[in-house]
Amino acid sequence: MVEIRREPFGAFDGQPVTNYHLSNRHGLRVEILTYGGVIRAVWAPDRAGTLANVALGFGDLAGYRRNNSPFFGCITGRYANRLAGGRFTLDGETWQLARNVGDNHLHGGLRGFDKYVWDADEVHDGDFAGVRLTRTSPDGEEGYPGALRTSVTYRLDEENRLAIDYRAETDRPTILNLTNHAYWNLAGEGSGSIEDHVLWLAASRYTPVDAEQIPTGDLAAVAGTPFDFTTPMAIGARIRQDDPQLLMSRGYDHNFVFDREAGDASLIEGVRLHHPSSGRTLTVSTTEPGVQVYTGNFLDGSFAGSSGRAYRQGDAIALETQHFPDSPHHPDFPTTVLRPGEVFQSTTVFALSS
| Catalytic member of 189, 275, 320, 323 | 320
Angle at 183 between CA 180 and CA 187, to 5 degrees: 140
Examine the residue annotation and report whether 159 is marked as an active-site residue of this protein.
no
pLDDT at 185 over 90: yes
92: Cβ contacts below 8 Å, ≥ 6 apart: none
Band of the pLDDT at 73, cuts 50, 70, 90? very high
User: 199 pairs with which residues across the strands?
Assistant: 233, 273
Instruction: Please give the pLDDT value at position 127.
Output: 86
| Cα torsion 39, 59, 119, 141: sign | negative
Q: How far apart are CA 42 and CA 61, in angstroms?
A: 17
Q: Say whether 169 is catalytic.
A: no
**In the predicted model, what is the mean pLDDT of the chain?**
97
DSSP-assigned letter for residue 308? S
Query: Which residue type is seen at 334?
Result: P
pLDDT at 67 over 80: no
Q: Taking 90 as the threshold, does the pLDDT of residue 208 lie above it?
A: yes
* Prediction pTM value: 0.97
pLDDT on residue 66? 86
Task: Considering only CA atoms, give the Rg of the chain.
Answer: 19
- 90-116 tens-digit pLDDT: 999 999 999 999 999 999 999 999 999
From the list 181, 197, 254, 274, the catalytic residue is 181
Nearest residue to 252 via CA among 271, 237, 233, 239: 239
Which pLDDT band, with edges at 50, 70 and 90, does 69 fall under?
Answer: confident
Express as a percent the part of the chain with pLDDT over 70. Answer: 100
How many other β-carbons are positioned within 10 Å of the β-carbon of residue 90? 15
pLDDT at 169: 98
- What is the number of helices (H) and of strands (E) in the chain? 2, 30
Give 279-312 pLDDT, tens digit per residue. Answer: 999 999 999 999 999 999 999 999 899 999 999 9
Closest CA to 285 of 203, 199, 228, 351: 351
